[in-house]
């Protein structure tokens, strides 16, 4: 298990692109380096050509911006699921 964890960390630490697009649960996650050239990152969440949310450049690494974007999507979908489940009951 330790080996799998270590390889995961190494794989994730290679992310260095200034503008990277990923996908999570049907949404496009775009990670961008700050325009002022600092080592800060932001994320935006897009779906069907629309930008649904954009964060400030508050993240020190691309990995922390990616993690925050995934948590944001998971939290939003979890809230939607709870609300619709309550309506179905």
**Which pLDDT tens digit goes with each residue over 1-29?**
444 444 333 334 344 556 778 889 999 99
- Nearest Cα to 72, choosing from 61, 56, 86, 83? 56
Q: Roughly how many angstroms between the first and final C-alpha of the chain, as a whole number? A: 42
- Whether residue 44 lies inside any domain: the answer is yes
- Whether residue 3 lies inside any domain: the answer is no
Task: Specify the number of domains making up the chain.
Answer: 1
Domain limits for position 36: 16-88
- Whether residue 8 lies inside any domain: the answer is no
- Nearest Cα to 29, choosing from 49, 14, 43? 43
Percent of the chain whose predicted confidence (pLDDT) is above 90: 51
* Higher local confidence (pLDDT), 25 or 88: 25
- Whether residue 62 lies inside any domain: the answer is yes
Please give the pLDDT value at position 89.
Answer: 66
3-state secondary structure of 59: strand
Whether pTM exceeds 0.85: no
- Whether residue 1 lies inside any domain: the answer is no
- Whether residue 52 lies inside any domain: the answer is yes
């Amino acid at each position: 298990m330790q080996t799998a964890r270590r390889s995961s960390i190494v794989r994730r630490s290679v992310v260095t692109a200034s503008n990277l697009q990923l996908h999570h649960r049907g949404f496009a996650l775009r990670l961008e380096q700050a325009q002022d050239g600092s080592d800060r990152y932001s994320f935006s969440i897009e779906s069907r050509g629309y930008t649904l949310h954009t964060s400030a450049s508050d993240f020190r690494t691309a990995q922390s911006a990616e993690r925050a974007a995934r948590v944001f999507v998971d939290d939003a979908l979890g809230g939607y699921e709870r609300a619709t489940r309550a309506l179905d009951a």
